Copies of this chain bind each other. A is one copy, B any other.
Amino acid sequence: MDANKMTRRQLLQRFGAVGGSSLVMGAMGAWDLMGQPSGPRPVMKGPRPDTKVIVLGAGLSGLTVGYELGKLDYDYRVLEARDSVGGLCWTVRRGMQHTEIGGETQVCDFDEGQYINAGAWRIPNRDQGIIGYCKELGVPLQLFVNLSDANYYYEEDPELGSLSGQRVRLREVKADMWGSITELLAKAMDSGQIDAPLSEEDEVLLMGFLVRAGYLDSEDHFYGPPELRGSEDRWDFGSLLRSNFGGRVRSLYAGTGGPDPVFQPIGGMNQIPLAFERAMGHHITFGAEVRSIRQSEQGVRVVYRDTRTGREREETADFCVSCLPMSILKKIDVNFSPEMAEAVGKTEHSSSAKMGLQMKRRFWEEDDGIFGGHLWSSSLQLGEFSYPSNDFYSDKGVLLGYYGRGGQAGLADMRIRDRVEHTLTQASKVHPQMREEFEHAYCVWWDKVPFSEGAYGRTPDAELLGQLSKPDGRVYLGSAGASGRPAWLEGAIQSAWRTVEALHERVSA
């Protein structure tokens, strides 16, 4: 479409109709797709049920199901294929290892105390379900900096003019965008162009606000970049508009210091599953790889392979709650109803991947004054490159060098060293210190992780979700993938609560 051939009004209307810019802001859209917060935790009571439940998977949903069943005095057993709890709540530390499906083995050689949250990593305050468990189980939380004015944009795009190939700070964009807006309005007021429904005195106060808020010169009302901006130049306003860097410049923005602060467990995300494990005693069987689920009118029989001996074992119970990833459940032999089998078969999952990069020193803090937040770039093909919000000013640190789709830039098909090479090369365009300071990498491509074979589920449509949320005979699905917020820990909690509530109601009836 040639913009010049439309009338100004048509253009304005057209733009208005799409409600803002349609440029893609970053790699992961999940942040804006958080869905609704949970209600309060259901209050479940009743006589001691003489009922046994098998819970499959010791990720956050399985742990929640087991923990709540335990509080209700159920006899329950959690079967977990790995030798540790957590599932997608995986904090990678020194000595941990995994072998990619059809690929290489990595052993983490980070220093002691260094870590990367390879899966779940941030908890918005609105997610009171998971936060409630952190309080109950004694997992201390700290702020997660989800946005910092010091963070950089970096795009290579001739359309961006002087901005192309430049490191542009959010604080520069904020100051220049608001400065330009307030300057435009102040100038229009100066020349009597504005017909605002304000008293003369209020107009004076308004001008005072514009001058102060936008850092305008108090005399001539021209915008002058403030000291806090960090440099006295200003970016070309037209280029800024075309860049869409202003997409994060809003009166309100969810994130640290904003209306909805974000948190993380001190010491890594897996502090949460570890706290559940401590609270649940010996109810978890590790190394139990589920092979089949057979239900009858009398009960459920789960056959699993003991990964240490290779021998098949079985567990029987009255009910079974699957908190396995849908990607795994799909492949297991279950005598579901045709409707449920079809629904499970239709589920999808994200191919998210993360790469932790241990650095000799926290150059982003020391040299760039960046304390948490992200690097925003589509050109670099790093997804959501991020800086740690923990252990500020300490000696070393682990950057999240890559967080995006596993297949982006052909990375999934590369050897691990080549994925790291890609990341170092690309990130060096913004942080030339990368190669000099790099020490160790660890890659988690979730599609290639045994017992996960994918990251979080993709939001199913409402009909599919309805099917997944219902019990199928004596089998329930309690994982985040069967919730409206599959990409969030809170989805795991919601699904677990729904399941335990329904099961307990049935048993108590």
Contact = CB atoms under 8 A, between A and B. Distances in A.
A218 B17 contact: yes
A205 B23 CA distance: 12
B3 A241 contact: no
Given A140-B394, A181-B185, A213-B246, A204 B12 contact: yes
B196 A194 contact: no
B213 A177 contact: yes
A175 interface: yes
Interface residues on A, range: 35 or more
B208 A15 contact: yes
Given A3-B204, A4-B201, A251 B213 contact: yes
Nearest to A263: B392
Contacts of A140: 391, 393-394
B230 A210 contact: no
A150 interface: yes
A240 to B, nearest CB: 9
B16 A211 contact: yes
A258 to B, nearest CB: 5
A108 interface: no
A238 interface: yes
B252 A125 contact: no
Given A142-B392, A193-B193, A213-B246, 16 more contacts: A12-B190, A12-B204, A13-B219, A16-B221, A20-B212, A131-B393, A141-B392, A148-B257, A150-B259, A188-B188, A212-B246, A212-B247, A215-B252, A226-B252, A229-B259, A261-B371
Interface of A: 3-4, 8, 11-21, 125, 131, 134-135, 140-143, 145, 147-150, 171, 174-175, 177-179, 181-182, 184-185, 188-190, 193-196, 198-215, 218-219, 221, 226, 228-230, 237-238, 241-242, 246-247, 249-261, 263, 369, 371, 391-394
11 contacts: A16-B219, A21-B205, A21-B212, A185-B185, A188-B188, A193-B194, A202-B241, A215-B251, A215-B252, A229-B252, A230-B259
